[in-house]
Structure 1
Amino acid sequence: MPKISSKGLNMPQSPIRKLAPFADRAIEEGKKIFFLNIGQPDISTPKAALDAVKNNNLDILSYSPSSGFDSYKKKLAKYYVENGIDIEADDLIVTTGGSEALLFTMGSITDPGDEVIIPEPFYANYNGFAVASGVVVKPVESKFEDNFALPSISEFEKQITEKTKAIIICNPGNPTGYLYTKDEIQKLADLAIKHDLFIVADEVYREFVYDGEEHHSIMSLPELKNHAIMVDSVSKRYSMCGARIGCMVSKNKELIATALKFAQARLSPPTFAQIASEAALDTKKDYFIEVNEEYKSRRDTLIEALEDIKGVKVAKPKGAFYCVAELPVEDSEDFAKWMLSEFDLNGETVMVAPAAGFYSTPHTGMNQIRIAYVIEKQNLLKAVAILKMALQAYTKR
């Protein structure tokens, strides 16, 4: 029998989706599941985006340019300028989701065997993108007790070798919800310049920032003109996860020209989704004010309820719509599977994402889970009540 590639065998499973078979069986058994495991917002997609697809008058569903429709790129660049990021349309490439932007980035700045440094825990697919590109992830652990703040720069410098090509951050963070301060972003910028590294910033949650805090983009620092790469997406901003439209942004002309070759190889991003995304940019700012208030309210409701459970600790997020909680269990993945397969409260149970899959360091985060607060507050409270009873039953086994 032909052999599967080592790269394929080493490709990690998604900690967010790997428990799906357990959820499917639970549903077949008649259980209702509160899904706290995946960042699928329940906020309505802007009507303008949906109408742009419904009411289009295309005669031919044709390719777009490989870098995306010019009209969308110009409108997107204007959005960034209005948010303090001074770029032009030629500084970005439209991609099939933020995922493709990350893959184009990896392909453009690394060779097999090169290394990237990432503060952990981090978005699990960074591991997958690295494996697909033959790149080695060098993690620097951010601490739960520090609310997942940026680790000291000395810890980053310990990991830098002649093979290091980039530092990757997510701001605000997935899975932690941590929001980097202006000072932390500046420290990373200084480090990148000192060691001549790229900084890749995944900023897909930029709109979701709470408590009067401000988002500081890596693209706002002029000294990083040739070092900064931003990854973005409409998925979370406009609750358009299924559109699969993102972008890769950099003022480094050589980098964009290189990434364009990868874009040409996959032909083009999807046409209808670009039409919807362009229309979404007309969404009034009131939309984000209301959405932010809703997520902040959900966060506060969730944190208060979790802190009321004996033995549970929570890191309070400043952005995005995730939090990481420590549970009084040794193996949160086993607990998550058990909740789906063996536990219910009046026919209802909860699905969470075990946090170990968000770490690159083995056996780290084993007692942690990520919770996405993307369901209504009354359902969040129901889910936490079920989680509380499940923990009591699980620890008494």
Structure 2
Amino acid sequence: MCIDTFAKTIKHTMPTISQKGLAMPQSPIRKLMPYADAARKNGKHIFHLNIGQPDIKTPNVALEAIKNNSIEILSYSASEGFESYRNKLADYYKTNNINVSAEDIIISTGGSEALLFTMGSIADAGDEVIIPEPFYANYNGFATASGVTVVPVKSSIDNGFALPPIAEFEKLITPKTKAILICNPGNPTGYLYTKEEIEQLAAMVKKHNLFIVADEVYREFAYDGNTHHSIMSEPGLEDHAIMIDSVSKRYSMCGARIGCMVSKNKELMSTALKFAQARLSPPTFAQVAAEAALETPKSYFDDVIEEYVHRRNLLVNALEDINGVKVAKPKGAFYCIAELPVKDAEDFAKWLLSDFDVDGQTVMVAPASGFYSTPNTGLNQVRIAYVLNEDNLLKSVNILKKALEVYPN
């Protein structure tokens, strides 16, 4: 082979990307950022309804802990996190009727890493996890990264995305089923599971000897006098229940990236600790802030919940006034799913950024199809995060209303 031919062969050959990597889904929350960047460069102001980044201020006690500390060497922590933080977390959980100790808690880099630890500890490649859909879009990504198959059971906007009948879950259980995964209150639906629904799930996982994983990062955000019911409070689930938690939303500390995995199953937690050791430790400064945040007074949450209830009511009422829009009223968290009179919500979301504005302003929403695992589902739905103040929320809904009046598709 001559040198030129060899060079051409090298030029047109490249290492292959993994099938896992190719299968990894894009985030429906972030995938439209190139459109948003282009819109900003064209001078548009964007109201971000697409991402759950609260505009509520982080508790001052957490920020002060970062500013005023005596750390001289920013060293590793224990792989399971500060013992002092885990002890204080256990005390916090006890006030929420969750009786756990520091040994039942592993601190993680956000709730995301806690979910990865969980999937790595309970499932092998090809095993299955049943999840009511729509669900937090990154569950698809965590499952793909872990070689786990998501088996969806569909909930409906018509009943506010309540828990599907237990019989629908049981139809899907196979020898490869390892767990049921829920988000409570729900992202993207805002649905808050009732005590009866939690009891039904508890009975089912005990009957079929499964794990139940509950993402409870929005625990504080329960509205209208409703109460959050944790799977960790259900009797008889000590070997079955795994709770995922995070400081991101509770204290408006998304950038801290501190979460945790909680379970009373000792074998499970010793397994998960091996995953935690493999990544060395969670971030030290962020743990300092998270530990201090536990001193946040109850009045902070009272004010925050009052604000979110006001925003929810304002948003839902305004959306319901738009012809052809259907919306499920959330009972918790700070998201809702809205069904729009369009064929393709992703195309509509792109069009909002690239081709539409009202006085130089437009909105960014998250197409809801990415929150489903079933193909071609939720195509005319969007997730809206009501994390903007009253004035900006009203402007955003007005822009949506005007856009739907002229949208060509």
The two structures have a TM-score, normalised by structure 1, of 0.99
> 1:26-73 CA distances to partner (integer Å, 9 max, x unpaired)?
000000000000000000000010010011111100000000000000
SS in 1 for 2:221: coil
In 2, the alpha carbon distance for the partners of 1:384 and 1:222 equals: 44
Distance 1:279 1:65 in 2: 18
**Any residues of structure 2 matched to 1:77-96 within 5 Å, and which?**
77-96=90-109
Residue 380, structure 1, aligned to residue 393, structure 2? yes
Report sequence identity in percent: 73
2:67 is the alignment partner of 1:54:
yes
Which residue of 332, 354, 366 corresponds with 1:341? 354
Which among 325, 335, 338 is matched to residue 312 of structure 1? 325
Q: Could you tell me how far 1:246 is from its partner in structure 2?
A: 0.1
Which structure 2 residues correspond to residues 23-102 of structure 1 after superposition, within 5 A? 23-102=36-115
Q: How far apart in 1 are the matches of 2:69 and 2:406?
A: 54
Give 1:155 shift: 0.4
Q: 1:100 aligns to what SS in structure 2?
A: helix
Q: Does 1:121 align with 2:134?
A: yes
Secondary structure (helix, strand or coil) at the match of 2:192 reads coil
Provide the residue aligned with 2:3 in structure 1. none
Counterpart for residue 279 of structure 1? 292
Cross-structure match for 1:351: 364
* Candidates 80, 103, 107, aligned match of 2:120: 107
1:162 to partner: Cα distance: 0.1
What RMSD, in angstroms, separates the aligned Cα atoms of the two structures?
0.5
Q: Any idea what SS the aligned residue of 1:168 has?
A: strand
Distance apart, 1:222 and its partner CA: 2.0
Equivalence for 1:393 = 406
Q: Please report how far the alpha carbon of residue 297 of structure 1 lies from its aligned counterpart in structure 2 after TM superposition.
A: 0.3
- Give distance in 1, aligned partners of 2:100 and 2:355: 53
Between the two proteins, the alignment pairs up a number of residues equal to 396
Partner residue in 2 for 1:186: 199
Question: Secondary structure of 2:376's match?
Answer: coil
Amino acid aligned to 1:335: F
Quote the residue 2:340 is aligned against: 327
Structure 1 stretches (4+) deviating beyond 4 angstroms? none
Query: What residue identity is the alignment partner of 2:361?
Result: E
Q: What SS does structure 2 have at the residue aligned with 1:199?
A: strand
Counterpart pick for 1:211 among 224, 229, 234: 224
Give, as a single letter, the amino acid of the residue that structure 1 aligns with 2:406. A
Q: Distance in 1 between matches of 2:406 and 2:393?
A: 20
How far apart are residue 146 of structure 1 and its match? 1.1
Consecutive unaligned residues of structure 1, counting only runs of 5 or more, are none
Q: For 2:312 and 2:66, how far apart are their aligned partners in 1?
A: 33
Amino acid at match of 2:317: E
* Residue of structure 1 equivalent to 2:10: none
Code of the residue aligned with 2:257 in structure 1: it is R
Q: Structure 2 regions of 5+ residues with no counterpart? A: 1-13
Residue pairs, 1:190-205, within 5 angstroms: 190-205=203-218
AA aligned opposite 1:342: D
The 1-side partners of 2:111 and 2:164 are apart by 25
- For residues 290 and 348 of structure 1, the distance between their equivalents in structure 2, rounded to whole angstroms, comes to 29
Distance 2:166 2:360 in 1: 49
Residue among 219, 228, 243 paired with 1:230: 243
CA distance in 1, matches of 2:124, 2:69: 42
SS of the counterpart of 1:2? coil
Residue identity in the other structure for 2:42: E
1:314-365: CA deviation from partner (whole Å, max 9, x where unpaired):
0000000000000000000000000000101100000000000000000000
Which residue number corresponds to residue 270 of structure 1?
283
1: CA distance, partners of 2:363 / 2:285: 35
* 1:15 Cα deviation from its structure 2 partner: 0.2
Q: Structure 2 CA distance, aligned partners of 1:344 and 1:92? A: 48
Q: Amino acid of the residue matched to residue 286 of structure 1?
A: S
2:260 aligned partner, one-letter code: C
Q: 2:190 aligns with which of 177, 181, 186?
A: 177
Deviations 1:58-102 (A, max 9, x none): 110000000000000000100000111000010000000000000
Distance 1:166 1:377 in 2: 40
1:238 Cα offset (Å): 0.1
Distance 2:45 2:15 in 1: 42
Q: Which amino acid aligns with 1:11?
A: M
* Pair 1:167 & 2:180 matched: yes
For 1:356 and 1:149, how far apart are their aligned partners in 2?
18
CA distance in structure 2 between the partners assigned to 1:59 and 1:133 by the alignment: 38
Which has the larger Rg? 2
Q: What is the CA–CA distance in structure 1 between the aligned matches of 2:72 and 2:130, rounded to whole Å?
A: 47
- The one-letter amino acid of 1:278's match is E
SS where residue 236 of structure 2 aligns?
helix
TM-score (norm 2): 0.96
Asked if 1:4 corresponds to 2:20, the answer is: no
